[in-house]
Amino acid sequence: MSSSSAAPTAKPPMRDALVAAAFQLFLERGYEQTTVDDIVALAGVGRRSFFRYFPSKEDVVFPDHERCLADMTAFLAASAEADEPVRRVCDAARLVLRMYAENPTFSVQRYRLTKQVPGLRAYELSVVWRYERALAGYLRGRFADRPGGTLRADVVAAAVVAAHNNALRSWLRSDGEDDAGVAVDHALGYVQAAFGHEAPGHPAPDHPRAEGAEDVVVLVARRDAPLWRVVQEFETVLGRG
């Protein structure tokens, strides 16, 4: 697909050229030693063009987060009552991973740059905070009727972001060679196991459900489940049945 396509998500070529010029200079000279004037000179455009796309030099380092935040907000706004809330925020977090995984080389370069420049690290923290608030805002709405709903929303949102970032950093440290999707599925699965069953609008399973991990078995059942089904499920997960 040509980057001059009229599709709404198409990036203008000038914007792409500015990002490419900026990263070429950041890698050659270092971030602090590169000015906006250097970037526009290499890209062959004027300063005003730069600031049309990016409020500051920091923003050119993270050119896709605003779009991704907008995509996440739209995704959450399009949720149905039937969506299990914890699963839904996990799926929303996957949108961020996808953005990184779409361009591994760029993502790995940026990861190295961000680790070296404290100002970029601070910028990244503010971006992560905005993702976390978007997830927490959705969960607060879904948990509004429950006692402790805002606490639950804030904790789950933070856990989802931490799990996502753990997987993302592992993938970045592998130079983008590992399978990012597998890592994030594992990480988000851990959060869903910890919190997913408590969500409102997500009825308790019709049948008792047990999961085994190492030396512990966790069994979730409806209060009104028949005892024989609980025993059956327990025996099944233990391989004793």
Q: Tell whether residue 129 is a contact of its own copies (CB under 8 A).
A: yes
CA atoms within 13 A of residue 14's CA, in its CB half-sphere: 13
Question: CA 11 to CA 7: how far, in whole Å?
Answer: 9
Q: Tell whether residue 96 is a contact of its own copies (CB under 8 A).
A: no
In the list 20, 36, 68, 194, the residue contacting its own copies (rule: CB under 8 A) is 194
Whether 153 contacts 143, CB under 8 Å: yes
CA atoms within 13 A of residue 19's CA, in its CB half-sphere: 18
In the list 114, 131, 187, 192, the residue contacting its own copies (rule: CB under 8 A) is 187
CA atoms within 13 A of residue 178's CA, in its CB half-sphere: 16
Binding window for its own copies (CB under 8 A); candidates: 33-41, 48-56, 86-94, 120-128: 120-128
The 10 Å Cβ neighbour count of residue 80 is: 7
193: amino acid identity, one letter:
A
Q: How far is the CB of 218 from its own copies (least distance, A)?
A: 5
In the list 151, 182, 207, 236, the residue contacting its own copies (rule: CB under 8 A) is 151
- Six token digits for residue 213: 């991990």
Q: Which is nearer to its own copies, 116 or 150 (CB)?
A: 150
**Residues across the chain:** 241
Q: Tell whether residue 144 is a contact of its own copies (CB under 8 A).
A: no
What is the binding site for its own copies (CB under 8 A)?
A: 121-122, 125-126, 129, 148, 150-152, 154-155, 157-159, 161-163, 165-167, 186-187, 190-191, 194-195, 197-198, 204, 212-213, 215-225, 227, 230-231, 234-235, 238, 240
